[in-house]
Amino acid sequence: MKRADFTNGILNGDRRSLARAITLAESTRTDHRAEAEALLAGLLPRSGQSVRVGISGAPGVGKSSFIEAFGLHLTEQGHRVAVLAVDPSSRISGGSILGDKTRMEELSRHPSAFIRPSPAGSSLGGVARRTRECVLICEAAGFDVVIVETVGVGQSETAVAEMCDLFLLLLAPAAGDELQGIKKGIVELADMIVVNKADGDLVEAANHAAADYRSAVHMIRPASPNWRVPVLTCSALTGDGIEKVWRKIEDYREKMGASGEFAARRSNQAKAWMWSEIEESLIAALRVHPDVAKRVDTLEGEVAQGARSPGAAAREMLSTFLDKSASESP
């Protein structure tokens, strides 16, 4: 397929072209990376029109159920919703936390929704790198709400917060001592907190939890003078509170847009993405450089045995890489 036809297929919302583009963006092959970058250059002017919502929540909070209920609510209102996942595989087992099982079945079948699971077997940096590109592709394809979800462990929340307009922390009903188990750093990232499962016998517990979280949020200095982090309750099971969550997101977009912070956040994220690309590319080039490869085993062995400090070994490796790279330049 010619690139122009490929690009037009995405811009016209063709799902096969969209899926192919994302597969291309997720590839680590050098020729595919070049092709993906050329494609993104053509799509960039048509991207950026969505609201990007990051959603994090530990296993058991009902995140998949919430995203499905939220996504279906939005599609009923005429929105087009894309759901992308940031789920780095375990370095030990190689397994994905979110897994490959079918989730959000009803939403996945909706003609106005698109769900893409996380690429498997990748580091967090690699997953985040490709997810950013997938956000742009989905926007160019006409999706006006892009949800980026993470499992809520490790450093994935920070990665998601740095690529989204609003970071939503989803929690389950809890109170008292359980509140202490939530990492302060994650709460500080949140632009909105939602307590899910506010239904049946858990309504009272959810309301108490929300009150506790509001007290905790008031103790944290707000990131913006124009926005106080709201704490809401909802039920993905019954749909109660879902509309209020969306209204708050719209309120956030309006207030932050009026203050200029919305545009500034996107600009800062784009610059951070550029430097992240530089770091990823330099490390990748260093790892495959033949002169560095000759010294890696020796230096790693010396570091492991305590014969050389990690800093000194790193500097030697960098010196080898930079000296050889400079000598190879025209």
Coil, helix or strand for 167? strand
Tell me which architecture the domain covering 1-46 has in CATH. Answer: Up-down Bundle (1.20)
Half-sphere exposure of 147 (CA within 13 A, CB side): 29
43-55 pLDDT per residue, tens: 999 999 999 999 9
Domains 1-46 and 48-258 share a fold: no
Residue spans of the domains in the chain: they are 1-46, 48-258, 289-328
List the end-to-end C-alpha distance of the chain, in Å, as a whole number.
36
CATH classification of 48-258, choosing from 1.20.1600.10, 3.10.20.30, 3.30.499.10, 3.40.50.300?
Answer: 3.40.50.300
State residue 266's pLDDT score: 95
Choice among 190-199, 261-270, 275-284, 292-301 with the minimum mean pLDDT: 275-284
Question: Binning pLDDT at 50, 70 and 90, where does residue 263 land?
Answer: very high
pTM of the model: 0.86
DSSP states along 236-305 = TTT-TTHHHHHHHHHHHHHHHHHHTHHHHHHHHHHHHHHHHHHHHHHHHHHHH-HHHHHHHHHHHHHHHT
pLDDT of 60 higher than 80: yes
- What is the average pLDDT across 21-41? 88
299-319 pLDDT per residue, tens: 999 999 999 999 999 999 999
State residue 40's pLDDT score: 92
State residue 179's pLDDT score: 56
Question: Binning pLDDT at 50, 70 and 90, where does residue 180 land?
Answer: low
Between 265 and 159, name the one with better pLDDT.
265
* Residue 179: both structure tokens together: 């509140």
Choice among 20-24, 95-99, 162-166, 237-241 with the minimum mean pLDDT: 95-99
State the average pLDDT for the chain: 86
pLDDT of 100 higher than 50: no
Coil, helix or strand for 168? strand
